[in-house]
Amino acid sequence: MDGREPQSSTAAAARYTLPPSRLASEDILFCIDVDPESLVEMKNTSVSGRPFTRLESIKQAILLFINAKLAINPDHRFAYFALGKSPFWLKKEFSSDVDSALAAFRGITVDSSSAGHADLTHLFRVANHEAKKSRAQNRILRVILLYCRSSVAPQHQWPATQKLFTLDVIYLHDKPGPDNCPQKVYDGLVDALEQVSEYEAYIFESGQGLTRVLFRHMCLLLSHPQQRCVQDDIDIPKSLTKKSLAVDLVTADQECVPVSSQ
Protein backbone atom coordinates (compact mmCIF):
# COMPACT_ATOMS: atom_id res chain seq x y z
CA MET A 1 0.00 0.00 0.00
CA ASP A 2 1.31 3.45 -0.91
CA GLY A 3 1.88 5.44 2.26
CA ARG A 4 2.37 8.79 0.49
CA GLU A 5 -0.23 11.43 1.03
CA PRO A 6 -2.02 12.61 -2.10
CA GLN A 7 -0.94 16.04 -3.31
CA SER A 8 -3.50 18.77 -2.98
CA SER A 9 -4.79 20.51 -6.06
CA THR A 10 -3.20 23.74 -4.74
CA ALA A 11 0.26 22.16 -4.58
CA ALA A 12 -0.16 20.71 -8.05
CA ALA A 13 -1.19 24.08 -9.40
CA ALA A 14 1.86 25.74 -7.84
CA ARG A 15 4.25 23.31 -9.51
CA TYR A 16 6.51 25.03 -12.03
CA THR A 17 5.89 24.15 -15.65
CA LEU A 18 7.82 25.14 -18.74
CA PRO A 19 5.51 25.61 -21.71
CA PRO A 20 6.78 24.05 -24.92
CA SER A 21 8.16 26.51 -27.43
CA ARG A 22 9.94 26.40 -30.75
CA LEU A 23 13.15 28.26 -31.45
CA ALA A 24 12.82 30.58 -34.41
CA SER A 25 14.93 29.82 -37.46
CA GLU A 26 17.71 32.36 -37.97
CA ASP A 27 18.61 34.74 -40.75
CA ILE A 28 22.32 35.37 -40.17
CA LEU A 29 24.08 38.32 -41.77
CA PHE A 30 27.88 38.00 -41.82
CA CYS A 31 29.79 41.28 -41.96
CA ILE A 32 33.44 40.74 -42.94
CA ASP A 33 36.06 43.42 -42.32
CA VAL A 34 37.99 44.14 -45.56
CA ASP A 35 40.38 46.71 -44.09
CA PRO A 36 44.07 46.19 -45.07
CA GLU A 37 44.56 44.69 -41.59
CA SER A 38 42.50 41.72 -42.77
CA LEU A 39 45.59 40.73 -44.79
CA VAL A 40 47.76 40.35 -41.68
CA GLU A 41 49.21 36.84 -41.62
CA MET A 42 48.13 34.25 -39.08
CA LYS A 43 50.61 31.87 -37.47
CA ASN A 44 49.14 28.86 -39.28
CA THR A 45 50.40 27.93 -42.74
CA SER A 46 48.86 26.19 -45.73
CA VAL A 47 50.12 22.92 -47.21
CA SER A 48 52.49 24.91 -49.40
CA GLY A 49 53.96 26.61 -46.35
CA ARG A 50 52.39 30.01 -47.05
CA PRO A 51 50.78 31.63 -43.98
CA PHE A 52 47.02 32.14 -44.03
CA THR A 53 45.81 35.71 -43.76
CA ARG A 54 43.08 36.77 -41.36
CA LEU A 55 40.68 37.14 -44.28
CA GLU A 56 41.39 33.63 -45.58
CA SER A 57 40.94 32.20 -42.09
CA ILE A 58 37.67 34.10 -41.65
CA LYS A 59 36.33 32.59 -44.88
CA GLN A 60 37.21 29.09 -43.65
CA ALA A 61 35.59 29.79 -40.27
CA ILE A 62 32.38 31.01 -41.91
CA LEU A 63 32.16 27.86 -44.05
CA LEU A 64 32.70 25.75 -40.92
CA PHE A 65 29.91 27.67 -39.17
CA ILE A 66 27.45 27.42 -42.06
CA ASN A 67 27.85 23.67 -42.52
CA ALA A 68 27.51 23.05 -38.77
CA LYS A 69 24.52 25.38 -38.44
CA LEU A 70 22.69 23.74 -41.33
CA ALA A 71 23.36 20.33 -39.78
CA ILE A 72 21.52 21.58 -36.69
CA ASN A 73 18.65 23.11 -38.66
CA PRO A 74 18.61 23.25 -42.47
CA ASP A 75 16.10 26.13 -42.32
CA HIS A 76 18.72 28.71 -41.24
CA ARG A 77 19.67 31.25 -43.93
CA PHE A 78 22.72 33.43 -44.55
CA ALA A 79 23.64 36.67 -46.31
CA TYR A 80 26.93 38.56 -46.58
CA PHE A 81 28.16 42.10 -46.01
CA ALA A 82 31.64 43.61 -46.12
CA LEU A 83 32.98 46.46 -44.00
CA GLY A 84 35.36 48.86 -45.70
CA LYS A 85 35.13 52.54 -44.95
CA SER A 86 31.43 51.75 -44.66
CA PRO A 87 29.49 48.46 -45.00
CA PHE A 88 28.27 47.16 -48.37
CA TRP A 89 26.50 44.07 -49.67
CA LEU A 90 28.38 41.04 -50.95
CA LYS A 91 25.32 38.77 -51.28
CA LYS A 92 21.96 40.31 -50.42
CA GLU A 93 19.57 37.38 -50.70
CA PHE A 94 19.41 35.15 -47.62
CA SER A 95 20.04 31.54 -48.63
CA SER A 96 20.69 28.12 -47.11
CA ASP A 97 22.95 27.25 -50.04
CA VAL A 98 26.63 26.92 -49.06
CA ASP A 99 27.61 27.85 -52.61
CA SER A 100 26.17 31.33 -52.03
CA ALA A 101 28.92 31.88 -49.45
CA LEU A 102 31.57 30.94 -51.99
CA ALA A 103 30.02 33.34 -54.50
CA ALA A 104 30.06 36.11 -51.88
CA PHE A 105 33.70 35.42 -51.05
CA ARG A 106 34.66 35.83 -54.70
CA GLY A 107 33.33 39.39 -54.52
CA ILE A 108 35.58 40.41 -51.62
CA THR A 109 38.28 42.98 -52.29
CA VAL A 110 40.35 44.73 -49.64
CA ASP A 111 39.45 48.41 -49.23
CA SER A 112 42.66 50.41 -48.84
CA SER A 113 40.65 53.61 -48.27
CA SER A 114 39.09 52.27 -45.08
CA ALA A 115 42.12 52.97 -42.88
CA GLY A 116 41.25 55.22 -39.96
CA HIS A 117 37.47 54.96 -40.21
CA ALA A 118 34.78 52.35 -39.56
CA ASP A 119 31.12 53.32 -39.36
CA LEU A 120 28.57 50.63 -38.44
CA THR A 121 25.50 52.86 -38.71
CA HIS A 122 24.56 51.70 -42.22
CA LEU A 123 25.03 48.06 -41.19
CA PHE A 124 22.63 48.56 -38.30
CA ARG A 125 20.07 50.26 -40.56
CA VAL A 126 20.21 47.38 -43.01
CA ALA A 127 20.01 44.83 -40.19
CA ASN A 128 17.01 46.64 -38.68
CA HIS A 129 15.23 46.59 -42.06
CA GLU A 130 16.03 42.90 -42.64
CA ALA A 131 14.97 42.03 -39.08
CA LYS A 132 11.48 43.37 -39.73
CA LYS A 133 11.20 41.12 -42.79
CA SER A 134 12.50 38.15 -40.78
CA ARG A 135 9.96 38.75 -38.03
CA ALA A 136 7.15 38.76 -40.57
CA GLN A 137 8.19 35.18 -41.38
CA ASN A 138 8.48 34.15 -37.69
CA ARG A 139 12.26 34.21 -37.92
CA ILE A 140 14.94 36.22 -36.09
CA LEU A 141 17.94 38.11 -37.45
CA ARG A 142 21.49 37.93 -36.18
CA VAL A 143 24.54 39.88 -37.37
CA ILE A 144 28.00 38.34 -36.96
CA LEU A 145 30.72 40.97 -37.33
CA LEU A 146 34.28 39.77 -37.95
CA TYR A 147 36.52 42.75 -37.17
CA CYS A 148 40.28 43.04 -37.74
CA ARG A 149 41.41 46.59 -36.88
CA SER A 150 43.74 47.04 -33.94
CA SER A 151 43.67 50.83 -33.72
CA VAL A 152 40.33 51.94 -35.21
CA ALA A 153 37.30 51.78 -32.95
CA PRO A 154 34.04 51.48 -34.92
CA GLN A 155 31.59 54.36 -34.78
CA HIS A 156 27.81 54.24 -34.94
CA GLN A 157 24.73 56.32 -34.32
CA TRP A 158 21.83 54.22 -33.16
CA PRO A 159 18.93 54.74 -30.73
CA ALA A 160 19.13 52.45 -27.71
CA THR A 161 15.39 51.80 -27.93
CA GLN A 162 15.61 49.92 -31.25
CA LYS A 163 16.64 46.31 -30.66
CA LEU A 164 15.30 44.09 -33.42
CA PHE A 165 18.38 41.92 -34.01
CA THR A 166 21.36 40.46 -32.15
CA LEU A 167 24.97 41.42 -32.84
CA ASP A 168 27.81 38.94 -32.23
CA VAL A 169 31.45 39.95 -32.74
CA ILE A 170 34.73 38.13 -33.33
CA TYR A 171 37.66 40.51 -33.01
CA LEU A 172 41.10 39.57 -34.40
CA HIS A 173 43.81 42.05 -33.48
CA ASP A 174 47.51 42.69 -33.01
CA LYS A 175 49.23 42.74 -29.65
CA PRO A 176 48.96 46.11 -27.85
CA GLY A 177 51.68 48.55 -28.84
CA PRO A 178 52.50 52.23 -29.42
CA ASP A 179 50.60 52.27 -32.73
CA ASN A 180 47.43 50.43 -31.72
CA CYS A 181 44.88 50.22 -28.94
CA PRO A 182 42.95 46.91 -29.17
CA GLN A 183 41.45 47.38 -25.70
CA LYS A 184 39.82 50.65 -26.76
CA VAL A 185 38.53 49.00 -29.93
CA TYR A 186 37.20 46.04 -27.92
CA ASP A 187 35.38 48.37 -25.52
CA GLY A 188 33.77 50.15 -28.49
CA LEU A 189 32.59 46.84 -29.93
CA VAL A 190 31.11 45.84 -26.56
CA ASP A 191 29.24 49.14 -26.38
CA ALA A 192 27.84 48.56 -29.88
CA LEU A 193 26.55 45.04 -29.28
CA GLU A 194 25.03 45.98 -25.93
CA GLN A 195 23.20 48.90 -27.51
CA VAL A 196 21.66 47.09 -30.49
CA SER A 197 21.16 43.45 -29.41
CA GLU A 198 17.73 41.96 -28.80
CA TYR A 199 19.00 38.74 -27.17
CA GLU A 200 22.19 37.79 -25.34
CA ALA A 201 25.10 38.79 -27.59
CA TYR A 202 28.62 37.33 -27.54
CA ILE A 203 31.99 38.91 -28.31
CA PHE A 204 35.22 36.96 -28.59
CA GLU A 205 38.70 38.34 -29.26
CA SER A 206 42.13 36.96 -30.07
CA GLY A 207 45.55 38.50 -30.59
CA GLN A 208 47.28 35.14 -30.86
CA GLY A 209 47.00 34.75 -34.63
CA LEU A 210 45.89 31.12 -34.34
CA THR A 211 43.30 29.72 -36.72
CA ARG A 212 42.14 27.12 -34.19
CA VAL A 213 41.22 29.90 -31.73
CA LEU A 214 39.15 31.61 -34.43
CA PHE A 215 37.42 28.30 -35.23
CA ARG A 216 36.71 27.68 -31.55
CA HIS A 217 35.11 31.10 -31.19
CA MET A 218 33.03 30.53 -34.31
CA CYS A 219 31.81 27.22 -32.92
CA LEU A 220 30.64 28.95 -29.74
CA LEU A 221 28.56 31.27 -31.92
CA LEU A 222 26.56 28.25 -33.11
CA SER A 223 24.48 28.71 -29.96
CA HIS A 224 21.01 30.06 -30.70
CA PRO A 225 20.42 33.60 -29.32
CA GLN A 226 17.08 32.52 -27.78
CA GLN A 227 18.76 29.69 -25.89
CA ARG A 228 21.93 31.29 -24.53
CA CYS A 229 23.36 31.76 -21.09
CA VAL A 230 25.18 35.02 -20.37
CA GLN A 231 28.70 35.00 -21.78
CA ASP A 232 30.36 35.07 -18.36
CA ASP A 233 28.75 31.68 -17.60
CA ILE A 234 30.20 29.91 -20.65
CA ASP A 235 32.43 27.07 -19.42
CA ILE A 236 33.23 25.40 -22.74
CA PRO A 237 35.48 24.23 -24.22
CA LYS A 238 36.89 22.41 -21.21
CA SER A 239 40.63 22.50 -20.65
CA LEU A 240 42.08 19.10 -21.59
CA THR A 241 45.03 19.74 -19.27
CA LYS A 242 42.78 20.27 -16.25
CA LYS A 243 40.64 17.29 -17.21
CA SER A 244 43.69 15.02 -17.51
CA LEU A 245 44.94 16.23 -14.14
CA ALA A 246 41.58 15.44 -12.49
CA VAL A 247 41.59 11.93 -14.00
CA ASP A 248 45.13 11.35 -12.78
CA LEU A 249 44.18 12.39 -9.26
CA VAL A 250 41.17 10.05 -9.21
CA THR A 251 43.31 7.20 -10.50
CA ALA A 252 45.94 7.88 -7.87
CA ASP A 253 43.31 7.83 -5.12
CA GLN A 254 41.98 4.51 -6.35
CA GLU A 255 45.47 3.01 -6.33
CA CYS A 256 46.05 4.00 -2.71
CA VAL A 257 44.77 0.80 -1.00
CA PRO A 258 44.60 1.13 2.81
CA VAL A 259 46.75 -1.39 4.72
CA SER A 260 45.18 -3.07 7.78
CA SER A 261 47.04 -2.53 11.05
CA GLN A 262 46.07 -6.01 12.24
Alpha helices in 197-235 (DSSP H): 211-220
| Helices vs strands, H then E, count in the chain | 7, 8
Q: How far apart are CA 189 and CA 168, in angstroms?
A: 10
Residue-level length of the chain = 262
**Buried/exposed code over 15-38 (b: 16+ C-beta within 10 A; e: otherwise):** eeeeeeeeebbbbbbbbbbbbebb
Query: Is 262 part of any domain?
Result: no
Q: CATH code at 221?
A: 3.40.50.410
Measured distance CA(28)–CA(41) in Å, rounded = 27
How many domains does one find in the chain? 1
Q: Is residue 13 part of a domain?
A: no
Q: What is the pTM of this model?
A: 0.83
Output the CA torsion sign for 230, 232, 236, 237: positive
Range of the domain at 98: 34-226
Q: What is the pLDDT of residue 257?
A: 45
Give, for all 262 residues of the chain, the pLDDT tens digit: 444 455 555 555 567 676 777 899 999 999 999 999 999 999 988 777 889 999 999 999 999 999 999 999 999 999 999 999 878 999 999 999 999 999 999 989 998 887 778 899 999 999 999 999 999 999 999 999 999 999 999 999 999 889 999 999 999 999 999 889 999 999 999 999 999 999 999 999 999 999 999 999 999 999 999 999 999 888 877 766 655 655 555 555 555 444 444 4
Res 62: pLDDT: 98
Pairing of strands 41-45, 26-33: unpaired
